[in-house]
Amino acid sequence: MADTDWQTTWGDKDFIENWASKGSWQAPIRDVQTAMVLRMIPQPIDAPIRLLDVGAGYGALAAAVLRDRPNATAVCLDASAAMLKLGPEKNPDLKDRMTFVQGSLESPDWLKAVNGTFDAVISSRALHHFTENQGRRDIFKELFNLVRAGGCFVNADNVCASTKSLTEHYRNARDEYLDRYVRAASGGRSNLAEAKAATPSSYHGPHNNGILEEELAWLREAGFVDVDCFWKFTTTVVYGGFKS
């Protein structure tokens, strides 16, 4: 995604609010995805870990970790000033434990925006922007250098299905699952189609979702060990690795 796109997508408050409003009907998938990220961080729950969330937006994933870990602190990096401005507003209870910094993962310059190393690097729904020219392959190497020994990198993201027919099959499976959820949650008064219609599209350019096997190979190449896809539901995944 080019930096100029910020003005119409992640740089725009209305776009962000519209995007965030989809959270409710996607909750049954997103919630377990987030739970899996939290559970894969290896340090003891009361350890004073230092966390980095890349493409953090307003820090939703970092905030979930901090609420799970009373002594953790987080640095949230994002390219969008509008997203970062929302961070303290959305997480007032965590203001002393969260820092928001601006930087674009498009170039290694972002490394100057964050100081030091981290016990855990996390990300959600952001790194799929960087598949072109194998961008994520380089980012994984940059992230590896920021992770302390004994730490981890965990990414909650989307990947491609390996064939067209599997893409279709996954889409149907996901929609049927979510449709049942919306019907049950609304006591039969709504369905997925209506929920989708009530949250107009927040399309923000191509999602260059990766191929899972390639993502895992790039993590191993960067130096991570015990690399795996920790959780998967259709094309929604949590994958990552650890630093010995």
The footprint of ligand SAM (CB under 6 A) covers 1, 10, 55-57, 60-61, 78-80, 83, 104-106, 124-126, 129
Judge whether 149 and 225 are in contact, CB under 8 Å.
no
Nearer to ligand SAM, 191 or 202 (CB): 202
Residue nearest to ligand SAM (CB): 57
The total number of residues written for the chain in this structure: 244
Nearer to ligand SAM, 172 or 203 (CB): 203
Nearer to ligand SAM, 126 or 182 (CB): 126
Nearest approach, Cβ of residue 230 and ligand SAM (Å):
17
Judge whether 13 and 81 are in contact, CB under 8 Å.
no
Nearer to ligand SAM, 85 or 180 (CB): 85
Nearer to ligand SAM, 67 or 183 (CB): 67
Nearer to ligand SAM, 10 or 224 (CB): 10
Cα–Cα distance measured from residue 45 to residue 57, given in angstroms and rounded to the nearest whole number: 24
Nearest approach, Cβ of residue 225 and ligand SAM (Å):
25
Judge whether 55 and 77 are in contact, CB under 8 Å.
yes
Q: List alpha helices for 69-204, DSSP H.
A: 81-90, 135-146, 164-185, 192-197
Cα–Cα distance measured from residue 17 to residue 3, given in angstroms and rounded to the nearest whole number: 20
Cα–Cα distance measured from residue 152 to residue 242, given in angstroms and rounded to the nearest whole number: 4
Residue 141's Cα: distance from chain center in Å?
Answer: 18
Nearest approach, Cβ of residue 86 and ligand SAM (Å):
10
Nearest approach, Cβ of residue 144 and ligand SAM (Å):
18
Coil, strand or helix at 179: helix
Pairing mode of beta strands 147-158, 236-242:
antiparallel
Nearest approach, Cβ of residue 215 and ligand SAM (Å):
17
Cα–Cα distance measured from residue 52 to residue 66, given in angstroms and rounded to the nearest whole number: 11
